[in-house]
Chains A and B, each alone.
Chain A
Amino acid sequence: MKLREKVIRRPDIPTASMADIAFLLLVFFMVTTVFSNEMGLQIVLPEKGQEVKVKSENIQKVYVEEMGGIRLNGEPVTQDAFVDEAKAVLVANKDAIFSIKTHPRAKYQYMINAFDKLRLASAERVSLAPSTEE
């Protein structure tokens, strides 16, 4: 009887599923990755004890009322008209500085609204006035 010739198999590591493993990990990292995309409005606070002399005619007083209403130099302005009003002020006087004063019980969002509108009107010089000061 003739025995069949032994076939010598070369040992190898199966790599066919390597791509599957890699893709699995890839999908996990793609799903869990949170690319930082923080948005915000930047402002620089005044230094302590620093007093900047500003010509009074350049100061534009913005007052944010308790219920969210906005006053520009004492005159009530609607939310929609505020951007245009601010733009008009800047056209008339490009050195205008907007000072936002907010009622202490007004919501933070209302102050942000006013600030946001000023940024939309491309007002660069905006400051936050203390709410206690008259």
Chain B
Amino acid sequence: MRLRREKLPATIPTCSMADIAFLLLVFFMVSTVFRAETGLKVIIPQAEAAKKIPTKNLTHVWIAMNGIVSIDDALITKDKVSPIMNRKRQINPDIIVSVRCDKSTNYGLVEDVFDQFVEANVLKISLATTKKRG
């Protein structure tokens, strides 16, 4: 008995391509975080021992070379930092402040801002740096 065999042309199935693309698309759409704050233009210092900091409970404070501070995109003088941080701590007691300070800022100015943090009882600080490859 002879069986009839139909010869099919060789093809790559592409119908699931769209599914794969959509899957990746959804992933990127969900994971994309558009920057909420613009902050200030600062060049942050470099450090070899820099570690990744958890983004949970993180709030950013920018300090420019001239001592201007930016919190939540509002420009303030450094003596106004304490009340704002105090309010933030009351909302979230586990707050961690990421200090993005220009590397050429005089330390005296930075210290004044740190004193404001202590005043507001916000004590967990992370000094933002870029990783220096040793």
Which range holds the interface residue count of chain B? Answer: 35 or more
Q: Which of A45, A102, A106, A115 has the most CB of B within 10 A?
A: A45
Distance in Å from the Cβ of A87 to the closest Cβ of chain B?
A: 13
B128 at the interface (CB under 8 A from A): yes
Which A residue sits closest to B126, measured CB to CB? Answer: A40
**In the complex, what distance in Å separates the CA atom of A114 from the CA atom of B120?**
27
Task: With A34-B35, A47-B121 as known contacts, state yes or no: A41 contacts B47, CB within 8 Å.
Answer: yes
Asked if residues B127 and A15 are in contact (CB atoms below 8 Å), the reply is: no
Selected interface stretch from B2-10, B70-78, B103-111: B103-111
- A109 touches which of B103, B114, B128, B131 (Cβ 8 Å): B103
A61 at the interface (CB under 8 A from B): no
**In the complex, what distance in Å separates the CA atom of A25 from the CA atom of B53?**
30
A130 at the interface (CB under 8 A from B): yes
B84 at the interface (CB under 8 A from A): no
